[in-house]
């Protein structure tokens, strides 16, 4: 696979979770979140923090978009989506966040192997 192909695939895969974070953040901020989601979050104590969660999602998405901060954005998005995964599991919901977490990790691996492998292993390839 050429570097250009890897870059294109990485951008597409990174765009999906980023768009989901943006959409979720905007929906939380404008109060357009589906009632079932609001009830679920309220049940687990996050109902009064929807605006904070929305701002957090938008900040993480903006860090993912900007190339100089996408590493920290990746780490924060992994933590955020990992927390969503735990909440979904404990609530008996289907773990949809794992799809976006997987896409995020594959994308980052394709674009920046140094995040996962020792530098010597990356230079040898």
Residue-level pLDDT at 124: 64
pLDDT over 70 percentage in the chain: 95
Residue-level pLDDT at 119: 73
Answer yes or no: is pLDDT of 121 > 70.
no
Answer yes or no: is pLDDT of 118 > 90.
no
SS3 of 82, please?
A: helix
Question: Inter-axis angle of helices 3-30 and 70-90, to 10 degrees?
Answer: 60
Give the Cα separation of 117 and 106 in Å (integer): 13
Q: Which pair of structure tokens corresponds to residue 66? A: 């900007």
Q: What angle do CA 43, 23, 52 make, to 5 degrees?
A: 50
Show me where the domains of the chain are located.
Answer: 3-123
Give the Cα separation of 8 and 5 in Å (integer): 5
Number of other residues whose CB lies within 10 A of the CB of residue 27: 16
pLDDT tens per residue across span 20-44: 999 999 999 999 999 999 999 999 9
The pLDDT confidence band at residue 82, using thresholds 50, 70 and 90, is very high
Residue-level pLDDT at 105: 96
């Amino acid at each position: 696979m050429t570097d250009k192909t890897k870059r294109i695939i990485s951008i597409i895969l990174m765009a999906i979770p980023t768009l989901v974070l943006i959409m979720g953040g905007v929906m939380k901020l404008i109060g357009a979140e589906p009632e079932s989601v609001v009830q679920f979050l309220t049940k687990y104590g996050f109902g009064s923090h929807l605006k904070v969660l929305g701002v957090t999602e938008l900040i993480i998405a903006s860090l993912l978009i900007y190339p100089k901060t996408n590493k920290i954005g990746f780490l924060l998005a992994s933590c955020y989506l990992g927390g969503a995964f735990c909440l979904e599991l404990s609530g008996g919901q289907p773990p949809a966040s794992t799809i976006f977490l997987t896409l995020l990790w594959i994308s980052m691996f394709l674009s920046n192997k140094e995040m996962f492998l020792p530098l010597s292993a990356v230079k040898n390839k």
